[in-house]
Amino acid sequence: MKVDVLLFAPDILPQHCCVQRLDATSDQTEGSSKMRTMLRPLHTAHVTHNGVPLDEEIELCPGDLVGLGQHYLFMFKDPTASGAFQTPSWMATLCPPATTSPCKLCGTSVRRRRTQKMAARWRDLEGRVLSLSYQVQHEDQVLEKILSMVDPGGEEPKLTPAFLLCLCIQHSATNFELVHLRKLLLSIANQIQLT
Protein backbone atom coordinates (compact mmCIF):
# COMPACT_ATOMS: atom_id res chain seq x y z
CA MET A 1 0.00 0.00 0.00
CA LYS A 2 1.40 3.40 -0.98
CA VAL A 3 0.25 6.54 0.80
CA ASP A 4 1.53 10.02 0.00
CA VAL A 5 1.39 12.78 2.60
CA LEU A 6 1.72 16.27 1.15
CA LEU A 7 3.74 18.77 3.17
CA PHE A 8 4.52 22.31 2.11
CA ALA A 9 7.72 24.15 3.07
CA PRO A 10 10.63 25.62 1.08
CA ASP A 11 12.97 22.78 2.11
CA ILE A 12 10.54 19.86 1.59
CA LEU A 13 11.07 17.86 -1.60
CA PRO A 14 8.15 16.27 -3.51
CA GLN A 15 9.53 12.86 -2.49
CA HIS A 16 11.31 13.65 0.77
CA CYS A 17 11.47 10.31 2.59
CA CYS A 18 9.97 6.85 2.71
CA VAL A 19 8.41 5.14 5.75
CA GLN A 20 7.91 1.43 5.21
CA ARG A 21 6.53 -1.44 7.33
CA LEU A 22 8.50 -4.67 6.91
CA ASP A 23 7.72 -8.14 8.21
CA ALA A 24 10.75 -9.14 10.28
CA THR A 25 11.80 -12.75 10.79
CA SER A 26 9.20 -14.80 12.61
CA ASP A 27 9.90 -15.87 16.16
CA GLN A 28 9.48 -19.65 16.11
CA THR A 29 9.21 -19.98 19.91
CA GLU A 30 6.28 -17.61 20.27
CA GLY A 31 4.75 -18.24 16.86
CA SER A 32 4.43 -14.55 16.06
CA SER A 33 6.16 -12.20 13.67
CA LYS A 34 7.38 -8.71 14.45
CA MET A 35 6.74 -5.78 12.16
CA ARG A 36 9.55 -3.26 11.70
CA THR A 37 9.02 0.33 10.58
CA MET A 38 11.87 1.70 8.50
CA LEU A 39 12.62 5.36 7.63
CA ARG A 40 14.77 6.29 4.62
CA PRO A 41 15.58 9.79 3.29
CA LEU A 42 15.20 10.23 -0.48
CA HIS A 43 17.14 12.42 -2.93
CA THR A 44 19.52 13.93 -0.31
CA ALA A 45 16.53 15.36 1.58
CA HIS A 46 17.13 16.80 5.07
CA VAL A 47 15.72 14.22 7.52
CA THR A 48 16.64 13.90 11.21
CA HIS A 49 16.13 11.02 13.63
CA ASN A 50 16.02 12.16 17.27
CA GLY A 51 17.87 15.33 16.23
CA VAL A 52 20.66 13.57 14.32
CA PRO A 53 20.85 14.08 10.52
CA LEU A 54 19.97 10.89 8.69
CA ASP A 55 21.66 9.65 5.52
CA GLU A 56 20.71 5.97 5.52
CA GLU A 57 17.74 3.78 6.39
CA ILE A 58 17.03 3.20 10.09
CA GLU A 59 14.40 1.38 12.14
CA LEU A 60 11.91 3.57 14.00
CA CYS A 61 10.94 2.85 17.61
CA PRO A 62 7.85 4.30 19.35
CA GLY A 63 8.64 7.80 20.62
CA ASP A 64 11.37 8.53 18.04
CA LEU A 65 11.33 12.10 16.74
CA VAL A 66 11.50 12.49 12.96
CA GLY A 67 12.36 15.91 11.53
CA LEU A 68 11.64 16.80 7.90
CA GLY A 69 13.46 19.90 6.75
CA GLN A 70 13.44 22.79 9.21
CA HIS A 71 9.66 23.04 9.52
CA TYR A 72 8.23 19.64 10.45
CA LEU A 73 8.77 17.43 13.50
CA PHE A 74 6.82 14.21 14.08
CA MET A 75 6.83 11.68 16.91
CA PHE A 76 6.50 8.08 15.72
CA LYS A 77 3.95 5.87 17.48
CA ASP A 78 3.35 2.28 16.45
CA PRO A 79 -0.41 1.59 16.34
CA THR A 80 0.21 -2.16 16.61
CA ALA A 81 2.34 -1.94 19.77
CA SER A 82 0.84 -2.19 23.23
CA GLY A 83 0.49 0.99 25.26
CA ALA A 84 3.49 0.11 27.42
CA PHE A 85 5.80 0.24 24.41
CA GLN A 86 4.55 3.65 23.30
CA THR A 87 6.68 5.42 25.91
CA PRO A 88 9.36 7.46 24.09
CA SER A 89 12.92 6.27 24.66
CA TRP A 90 13.99 9.79 25.63
CA MET A 91 11.51 9.67 28.54
CA ALA A 92 13.18 6.57 29.99
CA THR A 93 15.30 8.62 32.38
CA LEU A 94 12.17 10.13 33.93
CA CYS A 95 10.80 6.73 34.92
CA PRO A 96 12.15 4.47 37.68
CA PRO A 97 13.94 1.21 36.76
CA ALA A 98 11.18 -1.14 37.97
CA THR A 99 9.28 -3.08 35.31
CA THR A 100 5.95 -1.44 36.14
CA SER A 101 5.73 1.71 38.25
CA PRO A 102 4.45 5.26 37.99
CA CYS A 103 6.18 7.88 35.86
CA LYS A 104 7.86 10.58 37.97
CA LEU A 105 6.28 13.40 35.97
CA CYS A 106 2.69 12.35 35.34
CA GLY A 107 2.09 9.36 37.65
CA THR A 108 0.88 6.99 34.92
CA SER A 109 1.96 3.37 35.01
CA VAL A 110 4.76 2.77 32.51
CA ARG A 111 6.39 -0.54 31.58
CA ARG A 112 9.97 -0.06 30.44
CA ARG A 113 11.88 -2.11 27.93
CA ARG A 114 14.82 -4.17 29.07
CA THR A 115 17.23 -2.41 26.74
CA GLN A 116 17.45 1.25 27.61
CA LYS A 117 18.52 3.80 25.01
CA MET A 118 20.53 6.89 25.80
CA ALA A 119 18.55 10.10 26.01
CA ALA A 120 18.63 12.21 22.86
CA ARG A 121 21.31 14.90 22.93
CA TRP A 122 21.59 18.24 21.15
CA ARG A 123 24.28 18.24 18.45
CA ASP A 124 25.89 20.99 16.39
CA LEU A 125 26.27 20.90 12.60
CA GLU A 126 29.48 18.84 12.89
CA GLY A 127 27.73 16.24 15.07
CA ARG A 128 29.40 17.22 18.37
CA VAL A 129 27.25 16.87 21.49
CA LEU A 130 26.17 20.17 23.02
CA SER A 131 25.72 19.99 26.76
CA LEU A 132 25.88 22.05 29.91
CA SER A 133 27.25 20.44 33.09
CA TYR A 134 27.22 21.74 36.63
CA GLN A 135 26.75 20.53 40.20
CA VAL A 136 23.31 20.88 41.78
CA GLN A 137 24.62 23.36 44.37
CA HIS A 138 25.69 25.71 41.52
CA GLU A 139 22.34 25.63 39.71
CA ASP A 140 21.18 29.03 41.02
CA GLN A 141 24.41 30.73 39.88
CA VAL A 142 24.20 29.09 36.43
CA LEU A 143 20.58 30.18 36.07
CA GLU A 144 21.42 33.73 37.19
CA LYS A 145 24.30 33.94 34.68
CA ILE A 146 22.10 32.75 31.78
CA LEU A 147 19.26 35.12 32.66
CA SER A 148 21.71 38.04 32.91
CA MET A 149 22.42 37.48 29.18
CA VAL A 150 18.83 38.44 28.28
CA ASP A 151 18.90 41.92 26.75
CA PRO A 152 15.92 42.64 24.48
CA GLY A 153 17.65 45.72 23.04
CA GLY A 154 21.09 44.12 22.70
CA GLU A 155 22.68 42.74 19.55
CA GLU A 156 23.44 39.26 20.89
CA PRO A 157 21.49 36.33 19.42
CA LYS A 158 18.09 36.38 21.13
CA LEU A 159 17.68 32.59 21.37
CA THR A 160 21.01 31.88 23.09
CA PRO A 161 19.62 32.24 26.64
CA ALA A 162 16.57 30.13 25.72
CA PHE A 163 18.80 27.37 24.32
CA LEU A 164 21.02 27.44 27.43
CA LEU A 165 17.90 27.16 29.61
CA CYS A 166 16.89 24.08 27.58
CA LEU A 167 20.32 22.57 28.25
CA CYS A 168 19.91 23.34 31.98
CA ILE A 169 16.53 21.60 32.04
CA GLN A 170 17.95 18.58 30.17
CA HIS A 171 20.94 18.35 32.55
CA SER A 172 18.71 18.64 35.62
CA ALA A 173 16.21 16.07 34.31
CA THR A 174 18.89 13.49 33.54
CA ASN A 175 21.28 14.02 36.47
CA PHE A 176 19.40 15.32 39.50
CA GLU A 177 16.39 14.30 41.58
CA LEU A 178 12.91 15.30 40.41
CA VAL A 179 12.60 17.84 43.23
CA HIS A 180 15.58 19.77 41.76
CA LEU A 181 14.03 19.74 38.28
CA ARG A 182 10.76 21.13 39.65
CA LYS A 183 12.64 23.83 41.57
CA LEU A 184 14.58 24.77 38.41
CA LEU A 185 11.40 25.00 36.32
CA LEU A 186 9.74 27.22 38.94
CA SER A 187 12.84 29.45 39.13
CA ILE A 188 12.96 29.80 35.34
CA ALA A 189 9.24 30.66 35.17
CA ASN A 190 9.58 33.24 37.96
CA GLN A 191 12.64 34.89 36.40
CA ILE A 192 11.07 35.03 32.94
CA GLN A 193 8.01 36.78 34.39
CA LEU A 194 10.30 39.34 36.03
CA THR A 195 12.36 39.93 32.88
Q: Among 74, 101, 123, where does a domain finish?
A: 123
Same domain, 119 and 30: yes
Considering the domain boundaries, does residue 6 fall inside one? no
Among 5-14, 22-31, 92-101, 117-126, which stretch is predicted with the lowest mean pLDDT? 92-101
Listed in sequence order, the residues at least 6 apart from 125 whose beta carbon sits closer than 8 Å to its beta carbon are none
- The residue range of the domain holding 83 is 17-123
Q: Among 123, 147, 177, where does a domain finish?
A: 123
Q: Is 36 left (phi over 0), alpha (psi -120 to 50) or beta?
A: beta
Same domain, 82 and 157: no
Instruction: Give dist(CA 98, CA 110) in Å, integer.
Output: 9
Same domain, 156 and 138: yes
pLDDT digits (tens, 9 = 90+) for 64-86: 889 998 888 888 888 777 665 55
Considering the domain boundaries, does residue 3 fall inside one? no
Q: How many independent structural domains does the chain possess?
A: 2
pTM over 0.95: no
Same domain, 138 and 100: no
pLDDT digits (tens, 9 = 90+) for 142-181: 998 988 887 777 777 778 888 899 899 988 988 889 889 9
pLDDT digits (tens, 9 = 90+) for 98-144: 455 566 666 666 554 444 445 567 787 888 888 888 899 999 999 98
Widest distance between CA atoms in the chain? 66
Considering the domain boundaries, does residue 5 fall inside one? no
Same domain, 90 and 173: no
pLDDT category at 58 given cuts 50, 70, 90 is very high
Same domain, 139 and 94: no
Same domain, 52 and 96: yes
Q: Among 123, 139, 154, where does a domain finish?
A: 123
Same domain, 56 and 108: yes
* Chain length of the chain: 195
